[in-house]
């Protein structure tokens, strides 16, 4: 399949995500203008607040977008609101700075002349200062608008949609077509928005202010028409955001997943089962940015149910250190089920058969060269090797630090964290020597890797379990035990095969989930 065929086959999804991206961008830039321009005017007239506001705007600009999103989730939840809030904050600086600079730079003699003919301060502001400052203000708006298009790709991490979903999904699965399907429309959208902003600039800037932009009567009518269309789209974006945020969704179950293949498959399986076995409507907020995002959204009531792992609950949520105690697989489940309910008010359902635990993987040639079969064997040569773990593995109790504690002497030449499929690509390209893999990764087979035995049994069991708030199950009792029919069916082999279909065969996780459930007789083919 070439890129053109991919675009044709997935045109509906791409168009939907593009529309989401446009709505979010317009909403964010509009709010940034409504906030930034008045602030720029304010600091141009009151010098005492100039430095604090400009310093704050510069500091916000320097904060990494992912860090800001992570900070916002406990307060604003997931979806549209935190995404828009983030982009608005990042869009403020150019607008504030250009507004301040342009108004402050107006010749004082012009202001004196206006005062001399009896104009009030408000008349001077709206009839002299703002019209004269508009070219520079619009330059700031154009910068913010183009920047907002790129920043809004981050919205996919917290379930707001947009073209970022294609980009990050493609990176995760090493699907270049998917990456391009998200990146190219985003680039074209940025150029188009810049063009629209330039047309609007010509429409709003008085002809006498910017002589270079003199237009014919037809040209002015066209410019005002474009501005009218943009205003309508802006109004639509605000109304749509308000409806989606504040309209109650009775009997609608929000199903979430984390941002990798297996999670998306399980999220779709969960959603399909709910649609089949209940009369509830289902909203899918899949590919959220990780454990903290998904579990945080669950606690905040932004999502109703998703699939988690026993090891993640035990180690990440409950902060149990695997170095301090030896526990069986069943004990991890029972402890997690009991303490998660007590601590967070979250119910943990029955665990599935497969164990997607961590494994260390190396290339076959590396394993043969050093006769590597176990992690203990790796200790002897690890000082000369580069490990590329996921960010999560590099920073969790039962990850790299804990592993090095259990396998004393396991030290690496360098640690270069890489998420998703790129770490497999780095390993294959000999840019790294060791990666963390998951037992059910389809890419293990693709890259023909050697899995090292965890001979000291360090890694916790990672059985999939449905998690939902207790009050959610009380409100929607039909959700209890919704996945029990899959407990024994979902073995390591089965899950690895499903992942393989997405990662290697490039099938859609939604289609893979549906086909599997139909084969198992758990849903009808008409669903």
Predicted pLDDT of residue 111: 86
Domain identity same for 194 and 89: yes
Domain identity same for 164 and 221: yes
Please report, for the domain that includes residue 166, its CATH number: 1.10.3720.10
Pairing type for strands 252-258 and 281-288 reads parallel
Q: Is 465 helix (H, G, I), strand (E, B) or coil?
A: strand
Q: Is residue 48 part of a domain?
A: yes
Domain identity same for 279 and 409: no
Q: Is residue 459 part of a domain?
A: no
Name the token pair of 248. 């109650």
| Rounded (10°) CA dihedral 330, 336, 341, 345 | -140
Domain identity same for 195 and 275: no
246, 262, 284 — which closes off a domain? 246
Is there a contact between 325 and 450 (Cβ–Cβ < 8 Å)? no
Q: Is residue 33 part of a domain?
A: yes
Domain identity same for 235 and 292: no
Q: Which residue shows structure tokens 């590099």?
A: 394
Domain identity same for 170 and 318: no
Looking at the 3D structure of the chain, how many domains does it have? 3
CA atoms within 13 A on the CB side of 446: 22
- Exposed / middle / buried, residue 398 (Cβ in 10 Å: 0-12, 13-18, 19+): buried
Domain identity same for 222 and 238: yes
User: Smallest Cα–Cα separation from 335: which of 314, 360, 306, 358?
Assistant: 314
Q: How far is CA 397 from CA 317, 354, 413, in A?
A: 11, 22, 21
Domain identity same for 107 and 125: yes
H helices, E strands: number in the chain: 24, 10
Q: Is residue 95 part of a domain?
A: yes
Predicted pLDDT of residue 86: 92
Q: Is 339 helix (H, G, I), strand (E, B) or coil?
A: helix
Predicted pLDDT of residue 216: 61
Return d(Cα 110, Cα 201) in angstroms, integer. Answer: 23
At how many degrees (to 10) do helices 65-76 and 291-299 cross?
20
Q: Is residue 178 part of a domain?
A: yes
Predicted pLDDT of residue 300: 84
Domain identity same for 266 and 117: no
Q: Is residue 431 part of a domain?
A: yes
Strand locations in 310-463 (E): 346-348, 358-363, 386-388, 414-415, 434-438, 449-452
Domain identity same for 220 and 145: yes
Predicted pLDDT of residue 364: 94
Predicted pLDDT of residue 99: 92
Predicted pLDDT of residue 223: 63
Domain identity same for 491 and 510: yes
User: Smallest Cα–Cα separation from 471: which of 349, 335, 301?
Assistant: 301
DSSP 179-226: HHHHHHHHHHHHHHHHHHHHHHHHHHS-TTT-GGG---HHHHHHHHHH
Low-confidence residues of the chain, pLDDT below 50? 248
Predicted pLDDT of residue 392: 81
DSSP 70: H
DSSP 314: I
200, 221, 246 — which closes off a domain? 246
User: Smallest Cα–Cα separation from 346: which of 260, 465, 174, 517?
Assistant: 465
Please report, for the domain that includes residue 411, its CATH number: 3.40.190.120
Return d(Cα 459, Cα 124) in angstroms, integer. Answer: 70
Predicted pLDDT of residue 256: 93
Q: What φ, ψ does residue 360 adopt, rounded to 5°? A: -95, 135
DSSP 461: P
DSSP 313: I
What order do you get walking across the sheet with 449-452 strand by strand? 414-415, 386-388, 434-438, 358-363, 449-452
- List all residues 6 or more positions away from 494 whose beta carbon is below 8 Å from its beta carbon: 354
246, 263, 284 — which closes off a domain? 246
Domain identity same for 167 and 217: yes
Name the token pair of 474. 């009380």
DSSP 424: H
Is there a contact between 133 and 102 (Cβ–Cβ < 8 Å)? yes
Q: Is residue 435 part of a domain?
A: yes
Q: Does the model's pTM come out above 0.85?
A: no
pLDDT digits (tens, 9 = 90+) for 405-454: 889 889 999 999 988 788 998 999 999 999 999 888 888 888 889 999 99
Pairing type for strands 464-469 and 305-309 reads antiparallel
Q: Is 486 helix (H, G, I), strand (E, B) or coil?
A: helix
What is the span of the domain harbouring residue 412?
Answer: 358-452
Q: Is residue 525 part of a domain?
A: no
Q: Is 255 helix (H, G, I), strand (E, B) or coil?
A: strand
């Amino acid at each position: 399949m070439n890129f053109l065929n991919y675009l044709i086959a997935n045109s509906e999804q791409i168009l939907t995500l593009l529309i989401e991206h446009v709505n979010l961008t317009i909403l964010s830039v509009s709010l940034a203008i409504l906030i930034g321009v008045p602030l720029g005017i304010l600091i141009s007239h009151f010098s005492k607040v100039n430095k604090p506001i400009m310093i704050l705007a510069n500091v916000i600009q320097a904060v990494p977008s992912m860090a800001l999103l992570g900070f916002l989730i406990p307060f604003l939840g997931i979806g549209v609101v935190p995404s828009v809030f983030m982009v608005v904050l990042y869009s403020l600086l150019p607008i504030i700075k250009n507004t301040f600079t342009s108004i402050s730079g107006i010749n004082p003699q012009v202001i004196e002349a206006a005062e001399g003919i009896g104009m009030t301060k408000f008349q001077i502001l709206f009839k002299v200062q703002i019209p004269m400052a508009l070219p520079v203000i619009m330059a700031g708006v154009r910068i913010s608008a183009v920047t907002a298009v790129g920043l809004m790709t981050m919205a996919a991490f917290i379930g707001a949609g947009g073209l970022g979903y294609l980009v990050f999904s493609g990176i995760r699965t090493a699907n270049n077509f998917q990456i391009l399907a998200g990146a190219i429309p985003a680039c074209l959208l940025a150029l188009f928005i810049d063009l629209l902003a330039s047309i609007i600039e010509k429409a709003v800037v008085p002809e006498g202010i910017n002589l270079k932009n003199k237009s014919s009567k037809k040209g002015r009518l066209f410019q005002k028409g474009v501005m009218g269309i943009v205003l309508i789209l802006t109004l639509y974006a605000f109304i749509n955001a308000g409806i989606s945020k504040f309209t109650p969704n009775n009997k609608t179950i929000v199903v979430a997943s984390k941002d990798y293949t297996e999670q998306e498959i399980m999220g779709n399986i969960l959603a399909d089962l709910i649609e089949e076995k209940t009369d509830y409507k289902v909203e899918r907020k899949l590919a959220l940015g990780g454990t903290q995002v998904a579990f945080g959204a669950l606690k905040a009531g932004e999502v109703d149910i998703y699939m988690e792992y026993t090891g993640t609950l035990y180690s990440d949520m409950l902060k149990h250190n695997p170095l301090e105690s030896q526990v069986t697989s069943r004990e991890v489940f029972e402890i997690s089920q009991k303490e998660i309910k007590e601590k967070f008010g979250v119910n943990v359902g029955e665990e599935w058969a497969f164990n997607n635990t961590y494994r260390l993987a190396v290339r076959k040639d590396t394993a043969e060269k050093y006769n590597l079969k176990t992690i203990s064997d790796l200790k002897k040569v690890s000082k000369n090797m580069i490990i590329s773990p996921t960010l999560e593995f590099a920073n969790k109790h039962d990850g790299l630090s804990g592993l090095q504690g259990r396998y004393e002497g396991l030290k690496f030449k360098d640690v270069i964290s890489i998420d998703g499929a790129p770490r497999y690509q780095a390993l294959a390209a000999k840019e790294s020597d060791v990666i963390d893999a998951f037992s059910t990764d389809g890419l293990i087979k693709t890259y023909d890797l050697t899995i090292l035995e965890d001979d000291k049994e360090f890694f916790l069991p990672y059985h999939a379990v449905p998690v939902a708030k207790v009050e959610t199950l009380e409100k929607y009792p039909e959700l209890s035990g919704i996945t029990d029919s899959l407990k024994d069916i979902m073995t390591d082999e089965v899950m690895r095969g499903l992942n393989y279909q997405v990662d290697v065969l490039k099938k859609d996780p939604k289609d893979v989930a549906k086909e599997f459930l139909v084969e198992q007789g758990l849903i009808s083919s008409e669903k």
